[in-house]
Structure 1
Amino acid sequence: MKEILLRNKKAFIIYVLASTLFVEDVIVSNIIFSNLVGLVQTKNMGRFYLLIGLMAGQAVLGQVLFVFSRFKRIGFMKDTILYIRNAAFDTIITKSYRSFNRKLRSEYISNLVNDINNFENGFFYSILNIIFLMTTYFAALLILLFMDWRLALMMLALSVAVYWINRLFQKKTVAMQAEVQKSSEHFTVSVSNTFSGLEILKLNRIEDRFLHNTMREVDMVEKKKFRFAVFTYWQRKFSFLIGTIVFILLLVYVLSFMMEGADLARIFFTVTIANSMIWPITEAMPLMNEAESHAKVVERILSKDVEDGTSGTEPFNFCNAIEANSLSFYYGDRMILKDASFKLMKGRKYLIKGASGAGKSTLMNLLPKVAEPSEGVVLVDGTDLCEISEKSFNEKASFVYQDVFLFEDTIRNNIALYKPYTDEEIMEAARGAGLESFISSKANGLDEVIEENGKNISGGERQRISIARAIIRKPDILFADEITSALDETLGRLVEDTMLSLDTTVVAVSHRFYPGVTEKYDHVIEIVNGKVREMTTSEYLSGVES
């Protein structure tokens, strides 16, 4: 967190200085009030009116300083939160496939929204008050050293003792805040999953059961928040008790050593200044613990997995063959794949077949290193895939899925994904994907706007845009997972035929058979009971027919 706050040192210094402006109000107000108390001895009414005027002026000045301080602080807070949100989003989208899939999408949403909002509300409130309180503490210490150095040293020793007593609460505070964060994250996931399946819940009239589960999650979140609030409340009360005890000792000292012949105004000012040493410590320490707990949550969100930085350094050079060597994969105790061995030769087309749940998608995830095999290796021209840079692999591989991600923007940007391809390159990819007539039919051509998620185009056109995305990158290998399952037979035939006409290696999962199209695959990789068998397409089709 220190690195984040100090990334713009000038802005941070301005923030700190702006947070200290309130100290002037505290010191000057104490001086004025102490002199007003001293008037009990002098009974000087002229001085009384002067002090009342000074107090009114200080009240106005205090409000001006508050507005000025707020204005100077708010820019730094805004920039810091924006940086954290951007850094958190960057951390998430740059994760490796394996690392990203360890958490649900709704958990990431909870991190980006709930956790950072809680940080914004709690952290800067704590930091502002910590800076103000500690500045007050050191200002009071300096003043007290000139007034009574023995008392100053005594208060210094007591404040250090209070500091270490409050440090005992820090680990518990951080742990409880982490529990609140995880519970909120789990609640967000639960609600997201419920909304995703709301249609099924309503059709089967079981929404009440899920409502009960959601209310239970809400109850758990609120209980953890309540426990955290109670703990921090009693932490403050405990600090208040310590401060009260120290204040009583302070009064005993003053009454014992300063009463005889002392100026009442000086006595009162000494008490208030000494008091300004102990209360900042008792109030600041709980705030420090809370700030630390919020900072830990953000640090966890921004932390990068170790494997993200060590995913391999070798370039992806696919010249001859990708070889699966004794691949096995277990989901818990359940065996999905066992000793799978086969070769993908460059430029050929491969169809992965198998019954539902046989492991087709698992195999598709193992080949591009989306998932890690339980046993065995994947070799690219003899180089272990684990030694190959993920960035290099992704630059030369393309993926087409059943669910196509389209965003509200032009056809051009949906194909090019904002990369600087020329119109000629985009149109070449569009022709390869069979989109030329679709684009020419639009009044704005490539600049025609596609609505969010492609609501204004057909399913076949959506898939063809995803294929155009793959073509424009000129990949060495293309992975396609059930891309025609949601299309009717005519569109499905056209999309799959388009994919098989590409001049690249294709590895596809498809449960459908299109006469005259499926025969274009060179090989079939069939999965039966966890075992993998590779054969030519003609061998596979002859076996199916027989």
Structure 2
Amino acid sequence: MKIIHKKIKFWYGLTLSVTVLWSIVSVLVPITSGEFINQFLANTQNIFGGYFWLFVVSSLFQILLSTLSTFLSLDLVKRIKNFFRQTVIAKLFTQRHYQDEALSAAITDINVNSQVVAEQYVKGEIDIINCLVMIVASAVGLLTINLALSAVIIVISLLIVLFPKVLAQKSQANREQQAESQDQLNKRLTAFIKGIETLANFRAQKYYQQMLGRDNQNIFQTEGRGNNFRTITYGVNAFLQVVKTLIIIGFGAYLISLQRLTMGGLLAAIQIAATLGAPMEVLSMLLYYRREVTPIAQRINAYAKDAATTPMPVSAARIKQIELEHYMYTFAQQPILKDLSLTFERGKKYLLVGKSGSGKSTLLRGIAGTGAGAASGVLKINGLTNHFFQQMKLVTQTPAVFPASLEDNLWMGQKGQPEKMQEVLNLLELNHVAERFGTSEYLIADNLSGGEKQRIALGRALLANPDVLLLDEFSAALDPQLSIKLEKYLLRSSAMVISVTHHVQKELLPLYDEVIELDAGEVVSVSTPQSLK
């Protein structure tokens, strides 16, 4: 699985190169030290011979490379985490509707899993290569000292590497369960805190807190099982390391007695064995961790693949007509809209009425392309299908107010004239909000009334000067006088208006061109206001 993005490939390659070079030098240091000891024992008067200076230079070079490798490794993890965060955020912003599950999973991936994957999967890959290089270099170094001793050291070291595979499948399944439990906790916690006022009113905080406690206990248990797997692996590795050291000393002493090994060779072998033991032990843990986090890495990698998908074509053309032919819409495998065939013309005003749950809001979201379900049939705008039109704006009954300035909430990143914004503030009677927060300070949604939020949502739609306004109970939280005033303004504008309402103002009814009644997802009637009198 390729998870290294081209933006960080250079840093990955640089870190790998320096780390591998450090591994090779780390094996050369004990070899030169062994030769230095043999040289000194042969001639105690020549302590500062060639091998002494070679040992000193290689040791200094080892320190330099070790420091540089550490810095580059930390920097690489930082870059990878930054890339993962950007990728996850980019994926979230490609969505056209809110999903609790997707947000909870993304929060876990940003706060927890990006760190895990960066350290244990991507950097872990470098560490694995580094260990393999060090193992090969150590084996070559040992073979230059004594073949029999080298064979003993390498066989025991291989046992250390192979043991963690026994636990690999169970540990991997446990990590997947831990990620799922974390997602569940995040999802529920977000929902419960959003509804804390309701919980307090019903005095249900303790009950729902206990529910979160059970979710947290599931995480605690998976973490405990993961710790057990790691502890067992570490304990067995430590035991094998002790056995290896005893065998090296005993067998090495025996070889010295047979004059098949020098004292310098034994000291070098002990150092190389330690050098070999560390990467062997670390390699076994790295392979264990990498296998364990592979499902998480695949999940993180999916964000990059999804974010790279081709977006829906965007059109800035003026909208002249919207056509639905045998249009159907399902959500969670339940039909919401059934075989709708309707036509909406430029500049005309349409009123959608019907019982709650009849599909009015779903129809607006289907036209806007922001629904969370699956559509079938034909939806054409200006004769085109599968296009996003900039000149269409949706105002929902649960408007979003962002932690940004009033100006940003209204202009939505576009450049606009202050005079035009002031006109909208006057129309919507929002000057008191501008006075309270200013136009550049962040808005706090909890400090705004439902009516103020709805007017801000309508204001951003008006400033966009759209051809089509999709209004979903846009004035439900407004007082009747202001509601009538704004609805009149919209119905006298040049935009196509498709408005959903449960409460029809009789004095405004003549301003509509057509009244469309829905029931159980089907069109019951299409009539003119005059025919309803």
TM-score range, shorter chain: 0.7 to 0.9
Of 507, 511, 520 in structure 1, the residue corresponding to residue 502 of structure 2 is 511
| Residues 505 and 248 of structure 1: CA distance in aligned 2, closer, same or farther (over 3 Å) | farther
Tell me how far 1:162 sits from its aligned partner.
Answer: 6.6
- For the 8 Å contact 1:342–1:534, the answer to whether it is kept is no
Tell me how far 1:149 sits from its aligned partner.
Answer: 5.8
Q: Distance in 1 between matches of 2:96 and 2:442?
A: 29
Query: Which position in structure 1 is the counterpart of 2:361?
Result: 361
| Residues 16 and 332 of structure 1: CA distance in aligned 2, closer, same or farther (over 3 Å) | closer
Deviates more, 1:478-487 or 1:144-153: 144-153
Superposition TM-score, scaled by structure 1 size = 0.78
Taking the TM superposition and a 5 Å limit, the aligned residue runs for 1:417-432 are: 417-419=412-414, 421-423=415-417, 427-428=419-420, 431=423
- For the 8 Å contact 2:410–2:460, the answer to whether it is kept is yes
Of 485, 488, 500 in structure 2, the residue corresponding to residue 494 of structure 1 is 485
Query: Which position in structure 2 is the counterpart of 1:398?
Result: 393
Tell me how far 1:288 sits from its aligned partner.
Answer: 2.8
Aligned AA (2:296): V
3-state SS of 2:258 partner: coil
- CA deviation string 1:37-93 (max 9, x = no partner): 989999979979xx99x9999999987766554444433322221121111101111
Tell me how far 1:218 sits from its aligned partner.
Answer: 0.5
| Residues 200 and 372 of structure 1: CA distance in aligned 2, closer, same or farther (over 3 Å) | closer
| Residues 311 and 117 of structure 1: CA distance in aligned 2, closer, same or farther (over 3 Å) | closer
Query: Which position in structure 1 is the counterpart of 2:263?
Result: 264
Taking the TM superposition and a 5 Å limit, the aligned residue runs for 1:9-88 are: 9-17=9-17, 19=19, 23=23, 27=27, 30=30, 68-88=68-88
Q: Distance in 1 between matches of 2:282 and 2:449?
A: 62
3-state SS of 1:370 partner: coil
Q: Distance in 2 between matches of 1:172 and 1:317?
A: 56
Tell me how far 1:203 sits from its aligned partner.
Answer: 1.7
Q: Distance in 2 between matches of 1:13 and 1:247?
A: 35
Q: Distance in 1 between matches of 2:446 and 2:207?
A: 33
Taking the TM superposition and a 5 Å limit, the aligned residue runs for 1:521-536 are: 521-536=512-527
- Percent of pairs with identical residues: 19
Tell me how far 1:242 sits from its aligned partner.
Answer: 6.0
Query: Which position in structure 2 is the counterpart of 1:176?
Result: 174
Question: Superposition RMSD on alpha carbons, in Å?
Answer: 4.7
Aligned AA (2:391): K
3-state SS of 2:7 partner: coil
Query: Which position in structure 1 is the counterpart of 2:214?
Result: 216
Q: Distance in 1 between matches of 2:342 and 2:354?
A: 16
| Residues 490 and 308 of structure 1: CA distance in aligned 2, closer, same or farther (over 3 Å) | farther
Tell me how far 1:155 sits from its aligned partner.
Answer: 6.5
Of 388, 392, 410 in structure 2, the residue corresponding to residue 415 of structure 1 is 410
3-state SS of 1:532 partner: strand
Of 141, 144, 169 in structure 1, the residue corresponding to residue 142 of structure 2 is 144
Deviates more, 1:255-264 or 1:362-371: 255-264
Q: Distance in 2 between matches of 1:279 and 1:456?
A: 58
| Residues 307 and 362 of structure 1: CA distance in aligned 2, closer, same or farther (over 3 Å) | farther
Gaps of 5+ in 1: none
- CA deviation string 1:103-147 (max 9, x = no partner): 353333233223224445655774575455334323313323433
Tell me how far 1:223 sits from its aligned partner.
Answer: 0.8
Q: Distance in 2 between matches of 1:453 and 1:349?
A: 34
Tell me how far 1:253 sits from its aligned partner.
Answer: 6.3
3-state SS of 1:449 partner: coil
Q: Distance in 2 between matches of 1:413 and 1:311?
A: 25
3-state SS of 1:79 partner: helix
Aligned AA (2:519): V
Q: Distance in 2 between matches of 1:277 and 1:66?
A: 16
- For the 8 Å contact 1:329–1:338, the answer to whether it is kept is yes
| Residues 481 and 106 of structure 1: CA distance in aligned 2, closer, same or farther (over 3 Å) | farther
Gaps of 5+ in 2: none
Tell me how far 1:526 sits from its aligned partner.
Answer: 1.8
Indicate whether 1:288 and 2:292 are aligned.
no
Tell me how far 1:197 sits from its aligned partner.
Answer: 1.8
- For the 8 Å contact 2:512–2:529, the answer to whether it is kept is no
- For the 8 Å contact 2:406–2:439, the answer to whether it is kept is yes
Q: Distance in 1 between matches of 2:211 and 2:404?
A: 39
Deviates more, 1:502-511 or 1:113-122: 113-122
- For the 8 Å contact 2:96–2:371, the answer to whether it is kept is no
Q: Distance in 1 between matches of 2:355 and 2:531?
A: 14
Q: Distance in 2 between matches of 1:437 and 1:353?
A: 28
- CA deviation string 1:160-216 (max 9, x = no partner): 787566556555444332221121111111111221222222221222211211110
Q: Distance in 2 between matches of 1:104 and 1:11?
A: 31
- For the 8 Å contact 1:430–1:465, the answer to whether it is kept is no
Query: Which position in structure 2 is the counterpart of 1:105?
Result: 103
| Residues 106 and 508 of structure 1: CA distance in aligned 2, closer, same or farther (over 3 Å) | farther
Deviates more, 1:36-45 or 1:165-174: 36-45
Q: Distance in 2 between matches of 1:430 and 1:394?
A: 27
Aligned AA (1:265): G
3-state SS of 2:203 partner: coil
Taking the TM superposition and a 5 Å limit, the aligned residue runs for 1:419-458 are: 419=414, 421-423=415-417, 427-428=419-420, 431=423, 435=427, 448-453=439-444
- For the 8 Å contact 1:14–1:73, the answer to whether it is kept is no
- For the 8 Å contact 1:18–1:70, the answer to whether it is kept is no
Q: Distance in 2 between matches of 1:196 and 1:409?
A: 19
Query: Aligned pair count?
Result: 529
| Residues 373 and 121 of structure 1: CA distance in aligned 2, closer, same or farther (over 3 Å) | closer
Deviates more, 1:157-166 or 1:346-355: 157-166
Q: Distance in 2 between matches of 1:184 and 1:418?
A: 34
Superposition TM-score, scaled by structure 2 size = 0.79
Q: Distance in 1 between matches of 2:76 and 2:332?
A: 48
Aligned AA (1:144): L
- For the 8 Å contact 1:432–1:502, the answer to whether it is kept is no
| Residues 125 and 150 of structure 1: CA distance in aligned 2, closer, same or farther (over 3 Å) | same
Deviates more, 1:198-207 or 1:72-81: 72-81
Q: Distance in 1 between matches of 2:477 and 2:240?
A: 69
Of 466, 479, 489 in structure 2, the residue corresponding to residue 475 of structure 1 is 466
- For the 8 Å contact 1:15–1:73, the answer to whether it is kept is yes
Aligned AA (1:270): A
Query: Which position in structure 1 is the counterpart of 2:476?
Result: 485
3-state SS of 1:185 partner: helix
Aligned AA (2:467): D
Aligned AA (1:512): H
3-state SS of 2:214 partner: helix
Tell me how far 1:378 sits from its aligned partner.
Answer: 3.1
3-state SS of 1:147 partner: coil
Indicate whether 1:340 and 2:331 are aligned.
no
- For the 8 Å contact 1:430–1:436, the answer to whether it is kept is no
- For the 8 Å contact 1:88–1:302, the answer to whether it is kept is no
| Residues 364 and 301 of structure 1: CA distance in aligned 2, closer, same or farther (over 3 Å) | farther
| Residues 269 and 470 of structure 1: CA distance in aligned 2, closer, same or farther (over 3 Å) | same
Q: Distance in 1 between matches of 2:44 and 2:212?
A: 69
3-state SS of 1:486 partner: coil
Q: Distance in 2 between matches of 1:201 and 1:460?
A: 23
Aligned AA (1:364): L
